Amino acid sequence: MQWIEGIDDMFDNLPDIQADIARRLGDAASNRGVPMHVPAVVTSDVDARGMVLRAFDPASWTLRFHTDARAPKVAAIAADPRMAVLFYDKPAKVQIRVRGTGRVLTDDPLTDAAWAESTNFARRCYLGDAPGDESESATSGLPAQFEGVEPDDAQLLAARENFAVLLIELAELDWFYLAQSGHSRAQFSRSEQGWKGRWVAP
């Protein structure tokens, strides 16, 4: 899909704005060079962190991230799955905020496929200490033999059980365009009947 060249022309067209959101989320997942590739992900315990967006499914409006199954956010999501994600593209002057329901998968075909797609260098992160474990000195958490070293497949067998996929199914979208001539903002909410958009004051 092509980008809309004149973003100002979208201000009176809610379907085009929703399509722009989908395009930007898809590009953020597939292009590590764009600003929205690492959004801020917020859990119900009011904790936020930057996470790499791995995939966006426009059919189900679902975001996919990778995480350590031992991370504190996994317990927070299990206790209360409400989540929010903030994307910002400074050059385009577009902010996208979304809300939805999170779930963590550890032992299923999707997680197996995500693990298979990862490089051994990326997988080694799951060989180390659990996120948040206390240390007496600055540490990567990795075993010493894997500092800067790519493990082989056999050495990574123990890491798989720590790897998980985080899915966030979106229910609310908030699109905000910053312009000197006047900001513009639109919101979309999801129901069993589909998405409904509205204009709101910036």
In this structure, what CATH number is given to the domain that contains residue 168?
2.30.110.10
- 118: which 2 tokens? 């990862």
Overall domain count for the chain: 1
Its domain, for residue 46, covers 13-119+163-199
Q: Which residues of the chain have pLDDT under 70?
A: 1-11
Global pTM reads: 0.91
Query: 147 lies in a domain?
Result: no
Task: Please list, in sequence order, all residues whose beta carbon lies within 8 angstroms of the beta carbon of residue 178, skipping any fewer than 6 positions away.
Answer: 93, 94, 95
Residues in the chain: 202
pLDDT tens readout for residues 27-77? 999 999 999 999 999 999 999 999 999 999 999 999 999 999 999 999 999
